[in-house]
Structure 1
Amino acid sequence: MITYDYKPRGVCARAIHVELSDDGSTVENVLFEGGCNGNLKAISKLVHGMPTDRVVELLQGNTCGPRFTSCADQLTIALRAAAAEA
């Protein structure tokens, strides 16, 4: 299992903890610290077991209010970085 901790930028969440399958192709677990608690718990549940590439495809570029990014968008950066370690 690949574990990766990411410090997001431009969002309320303070950290994103990611666990991927050994080959980096599947999201095993995601945990956000800070941010919109209910929404980020929901995102974590929805992406559990999904292919990493599919999650990136769905969430990349998502914004939050006037911000250029969002916690979901920052998650895609964390997933790509974690998968690169495979």
Structure 2
Amino acid sequence: MFKYTYKTKGTCSSKIELELDGNIVRNVTFTGGCPGNLQAIPQLVEGMTVEEVVKRIKGIKCGVKNTSCGDQLAIACLEAYEKSKQA
């Protein structure tokens, strides 16, 4: 299991922690942000591949912001996957 912490940019949440089992996303937690969304998102992506998470939520915006917690999670998954291949 590869554990990764990502500092978010441009969202109400400040941090995303996740684990990868190969390219499978596990145990996502957010720090800060809208409680309902940040409880739902981890449950929805649990067990998905990094590629599927990116396909489904990368590029989603929150209001007038250029990003969202979902978009930041997709970015975090991509970064984590790249770093896991170097570990």
TM-score by length of 1: 0.94
Q: What is the rounded CA distance, in whole Å, between the counterparts of 2:80 and 2:2 in structure 1?
A: 7
Q: Which has the higher helix share?
A: 2
Runs of 4 or more, structure 1, over 2 Å off, are none
- Structure 1: 5+ residue stretches without partners: none
Count of aligned residue pairs for this structure pair: 84
Post-superposition offset of 1:51: 1.1
The structural deviation recorded for 1:37 is: 0.8
Secondary structure of 2:66's aligned partner = coil
- Identical amino acids, percent of aligned pairs: 46
Give 5+ residue unaligned stretches, structure 2. Answer: none
Partner Cα separation in structure 1 for residue 83 and residue 65 of structure 2: 29
The TM-score normalised by the length of structure 2 is 0.93
Matched residue, 1:78: 76
Q: Which structure has more RCO (C-alpha within 8 Å, separation ≥ 6)? A: 1
RMSD between superposed Cα atoms in Å: 0.7
Per-residue deviation at 1:53? 0.5
SS in 2 for 1:11: coil
Task: Report the equivalent of 1:2.
Answer: 2
